[in-house]
Structure 1
């Protein structure tokens, strides 16, 4: 959803994250909201961004979620509710990140698992971490995957380590190499 909104208009994404724009004017020593008839064209355009963002979000929701979000008055409010609904509170997120990190740290190929299933399982963990903002450099992912192979793969691991530059090797290339030498 984030990428879809950003590709539509990055200013709309700013409204989702920061909240709607409110045109203000100075009265004495305080700023107060302008009346709608006082807005200039630029202010009107910026206010409209919230409506566009809300429209995009509402169009992406199913009927049940729409019913829960339809009372929201800003795209930021909708987004924040969706985040809590789907990702949980900050405490829940921290717990999920901790569990994903534990899965990553303890990752090993399991008996009777082929390379593709192992890679798919690894990708789920890595993508889960990435979804929570925990990005692991590709060279570390490559090393983790190589060293997660069982002892029966030692000769194949050695072949890859000696033949490839692990600092520049991509996960997909590693996967291709592992599949070719099976």
Structure 2
């Protein structure tokens, strides 16, 4: 089986807010499968290179002046954004359409679909409490 056919088997589903947890795991592996350095853009983030002008002001460096490593880093960010954009439905896409950093895009999806860290901890505590209060009835079997 060639690489293109085998990659189709690993493609993540289109995320529609109801399947975020599954999508997140599949997407993480898919991005790593495409290019490990692309996943690094989700972890480390990306912003256009900057230069300091004669007045000491920082501004975005013109693309024509980017060094090779700056171009490669930008390309990995673009690849990652392209993959994320390709596997979300139109409603979700409207949330992320203006982001230019793969990390920012990933973070906003996580915040939108999973909530803030405090909300996740509260949900986890509720699930733990619910699990601890589970009891079998007399006529129930383990099966």
| TM-score strictly above 0.5 | yes
Q: RCO greater where, 1 or 2, for CA within 8 Å and sep 6 or more?
A: 2
- 1:41-81 Cα deviation digits (max 9, x unpaired): 22101111111111010111011111222122221221111
**Per-residue Cα deviation, 1:99-128 (whole angstroms, up to 9, x for no partner):** 232244445545555545xxxxxxxxxxxx
Alpha-carbon distance in structure 2 between the residues aligned to 1:46 and 1:17: 13
Query: How many angstroms apart in 1 are the aligned matches of 2:71 and 2:99?
Result: 20
Counterpart of 1:132?
Answer: none
* Alignment: residue pair count: 116
The gaps in structure 2 that reach 5 residues or longer are: 1-26
Conservation of the 8 A alpha-carbon contact between 2:47 and 2:101 = no
Distance in 2 (CA, whole Å) between partners of 1:92 and 1:51 is 31
Q: Deviations over 1:6-50 (max 9, x none)?
A: 222222112112211533456677875432111122210111111
> What are the residue-to-residue correspondences of 1:1-182 with 2, within 5 Å?
1-25=27-51, 33-109=60-136, 112-116=139-143
Larger radius of gyration: 1
TM-score w.r.t. the length of structure 1 is 0.53
Cα pair 2:50 2:59 within 8 Å, conserved: yes
Are the aligned partners of 1:20 and 1:49 in contact in 2 as well (CA < 8 Å)? no
Higher helix share: 1
What SS does the aligned partner of 1:72 have? Answer: coil
Q: Does structure 2 retain, via aligned residues, the 8 Å contact 1:25–1:31?
A: yes
Aligned partner of residue 123 in structure 2, secondary structure: helix
TM, length-normalised to structure 2: 0.65
Where does residue 14 of structure 2 map in the other structure? none
Per the TM alignment, residue 86 of structure 1 is displaced from its structure 2 partner at its CA by: 0.9
Report which stretch shifted further, 25-34 or 57-66.
25-34
